[in-house]
Chain A
Amino acid sequence: MAEVRRRRKRESRVLRYVVLGGWALFCLAPVLWFLSIGLRPRTEIITPQPIYLPTFSLDAWRMIWSDWPMGAYLRNSVLAIAGSVVISVSLAIPAAYSLSRYRYRFREDIGFYILSTRMMAPAIVAIPIFFLFRNMGLLDTIWALMLIYAAINLSLVTWIIRSYMLDIPPELEDAARTDGASDLRILWEIIIPACLPGIITAAVIAAIFAINEFLFTLLIASTSSAYTMSVALANFTGGSDGVIYNAIALVAFIAFVPVFLVVVAIQKHLSRGLTMGAVKG
């Protein structure tokens, strides 16, 4: 009996590592191969027979800095993302405070309205937004990107922060309140410091969504004054040469590395952030 159970246990462990290892391979193989694309010469990418062991080359690295305004793409990405995170977090904190600390009419409807904007397909509002920005003269500027990224992320930032605020024990504020502190002072001096992990999680996830954003950026940006990395990639084509994959691969990794490091740092909060606060991991 014990013998059978032990054997079964060993078998289940083997199965477990086959499943997990298999998926890890499926995750990593395309990534490593794409990295090798970034570090090989153009001539070894699209060939009659795929080349699995290419010659090492930094052609693509030189190319992205000399043939394209890579510095401008980086600057646009960073500015648009940082600006949008600042806008969405500063609108979300008071909103989350209101939704988590007060009882009033329509509170739940307002909360759900904020949540529901996350459900809207970008394509549905793409045309009106395009005309809106055109009329405001904001097409092809990072201001437009900032505004739209902030709007896309506002719902999830609000809900994540709200979820963390609900976890703060009320006793914390009660003490301050008896001392006569105003609501805004309590928000600033007690609530915000206490839910800082939530605010950081929300900011990181919002930043990732902003880096990834494609459709609106595609419509808004038309030159290097607003192209972000995500959309600049799609324009790495060289006329008759077709898509320039090694440059694309390198840009993909330039964007990936910081995102990966930050996400590893907030790993503990990730599941909560991705579900807008609904799942406490």
Chain B
Amino acid sequence: MTDAALSGGEAARAASIAPERGLRRRSRFRRRAFPYLLVAPAVVYLLMITLYPGVYAIYQSFFHVRFNSWTFVGFDNYRSLMGDREFWAALSNTFVIGSIALALQCALAMLLAFHAYRDPFVKGWRIVFLIPMLFMPSAVAFIWKLAFNDGRIVSDLLMRVGLIDANVSFLSSISLARMTLIVADVWQWTPFLFIIFVAGLQSQDEEIEEAARLDGASWAAIFWNISLPMMAPVVAIAVVLRGIDITTMFTNVYIMTQGTPGGATETISYFIYRLGFKTFNFGYASAASVLMLILTIIVAQTVVKRAFRSGRL
């Protein structure tokens, strides 16, 4: 399933298929061009939505754009971005909210997968746990907006069990507002990791576990010392995919907090959206996009590439 695997087992397969027989009557050129022609439509299509916007954003980032008038300003947008407290705040918010949510989801999904994967009702648990993930994210955002803010359900429940005395206004405190976003994300996306972890655990060789079991090791010890290391590549891929999606968090911010209080919940995606489509400062927003694009390429080339390579599955 990886580039390593590509060059291994698949090399033999490719060689066995290769030229001679079926392609007798084809010219050498056509034969060599054929695989490129097959992959070309997809690549061209993707270039249109990545390369074109990338170039456009770079170009636009050197202009001050007001409606239809573009004024060349050189690196001014980048310079003011570097000194923009809101930009740095959005970056750090994205990082803080994202890493807490990801860590929680990971720990919870692992705990649940550990308890569920050997359970006779694992299929049932899987379906139940999946449910939050299958709601539209915009609907989930409204569920939690109502629960935390408009409907005050969470406050009411906490008061009933005696944890607090009065209604809490979740949008007035920085940490509470961030917590609402984290809870919504954990609720919806823990199942994503859970499903993958369970699959990783189930695909392992049971005999190794049985052997350890006969030697008297506890399930927890087996899990920690054998199962977990064996499924490290699976965990890496799942966490990378989830991590990417968390850093692009937009819908929940747009619906639940709109960045309040005082920008404490504004993520980088919402920051770019707000600059572009609320204040119509397109050149400036493009400069922020370009910086994010560079960051994305760096992460993709390092972390992601490695995760998908190491997954020898």
Which residues of A does B touch, CB under 8 Å? 12, 15-16, 19-20, 23-24, 26-28, 30-31, 33-34, 37, 45-46, 49-50, 91-92, 94-95, 97-104, 107-108, 110-132, 148, 150-151, 154-155, 158, 163, 166, 170, 173-174, 177-178, 180-183, 208, 211-212, 214-215, 218-219, 229-231, 233-234, 242-243, 245, 248-249, 251-252, 255-256, 259-260, 263-264, 267, 270-272, 274-281
Contact = CB atoms under 8 A, between A and B. Distances in A.
A242 to B, nearest CB: 7
Interface residues of B, number: 113
Interface string B109-134: 00110011001000101111111101
Contacts of A264: 127
A41 B13 CA distance: 63
B209 interface: no
B247 A121 contact: yes
B74 interface: no
- Count chain A CB atoms within 10 A of each CB in B49, B52, B123 and give the residue with the most: B49
Contacts of A255: 135-136, 139
Contacts of B67: none
Interface string B1-35: 11101100011011111100111000000001011
Contact of A252 (B23, B139, B286, B296): B139
A99 B35 CA distance: 8
A85 B292 CA distance: 28
A278 B308 contact: yes
B308 A98 contact: no
A47 B20 CA distance: 77
A101 B19 CA distance: 12
B150 interface: yes
Given A120-B50, A214-B138, A256-B134, A279 B289 contact: no
A113 B42 CA distance: 11
Contacts of A252: 135-136, 139, 142-143
Contacts of B132: 27, 30-31
Given A234-B138, A234-B255, A119 B299 contact: yes
B17 A101 contact: yes
A30 B187 contact: yes
Contacts of B38: 94-95, 97-98, 102
Overall SS of chain B's interface = helix
Given A104-B32, A123-B292, A177-B17, A129 B41 contact: no
Interface string B183-221: 000010001100110111011000000000000000100
Contacts of A263: 130, 134
Contact of B111 (A19, A97, A101): A19
Contact of B57 (A128, A243, A274): A128
B42 A154 contact: yes
A153 to B, nearest CB: 11
A114 B43 contact: yes
Contacts of B21: 177-178, 180
Contacts of A274: 192, 195-196, 241
Given A28-B128, A103-B14, A125-B53, A95 B136 contact: no
A267 B123 contact: yes
Interface of B: 1-3, 5-6, 10-11, 13-18, 21-23, 32, 34-36, 38-39, 41-43, 45-46, 48-50, 52-54, 56-57, 60, 108, 111-112, 115-116, 119, 123, 125-132, 134-139, 142-147, 150-153, 156, 187, 191-192, 195-196, 198-200, 202-203, 219, 234, 237-238, 241, 244, 247-248, 250-251, 254-255, 268-270, 272-273, 276-277, 282, 285-286, 289, 292-293, 296-297, 299-301, 304-305, 308, 311, 313
Given A95-B42, A102-B35, A214-B250, A281 B203 contact: yes
Nearest to B18: A103
Contact of B136 (A118, A211, A281): A211
Contact of B234 (A19, A46, A234, A279): A279
A129 B277 contact: no
Contacts of A34: 143, 146
- Count chain B CB atoms within 10 A of each CB in A132, A242, A248, A279 and give the residue with the most: A279
B136 A229 contact: yes
A271 B134 contact: no
Given A95-B39, A124-B272, A270-B195, A151 B134 contact: no
Contacts of A92: 42
Contacts of B134: 208, 256, 259-260, 263
- Count chain B CB atoms within 10 A of each CB in A116, A155, A218 and give the residue with the most: A116
A131 B56 contact: yes
Contacts of A267: 123, 126-127
26 contacts: A30-B143, A31-B131, A33-B147, A50-B151, A95-B41, A97-B38, A101-B17, A110-B43, A114-B43, A116-B301, A119-B299, A124-B272, A125-B54, A127-B57, A127-B286, A131-B56, A170-B16, A174-B17, A177-B21, A180-B22, A214-B250, A233-B138, A233-B142, A252-B139, A267-B123, A278-B234
B248 A123 contact: yes
Closest 10 CB pairs of A and B: A281-B199, A252-B139, A128-B53, A271-B199, A98-B38, A102-B35, A123-B269, A95-B42, A128-B56, A125-B53
- Count chain B CB atoms within 10 A of each CB in A27, A242, A267 and give the residue with the most: A27
Given A120-B293, A229-B136, 15 more contacts: A50-B152, A94-B39, A114-B43, A123-B248, A123-B272, A124-B293, A166-B1, A177-B22, A178-B21, A212-B137, A242-B150, A243-B150, A249-B142, A256-B135, A270-B130
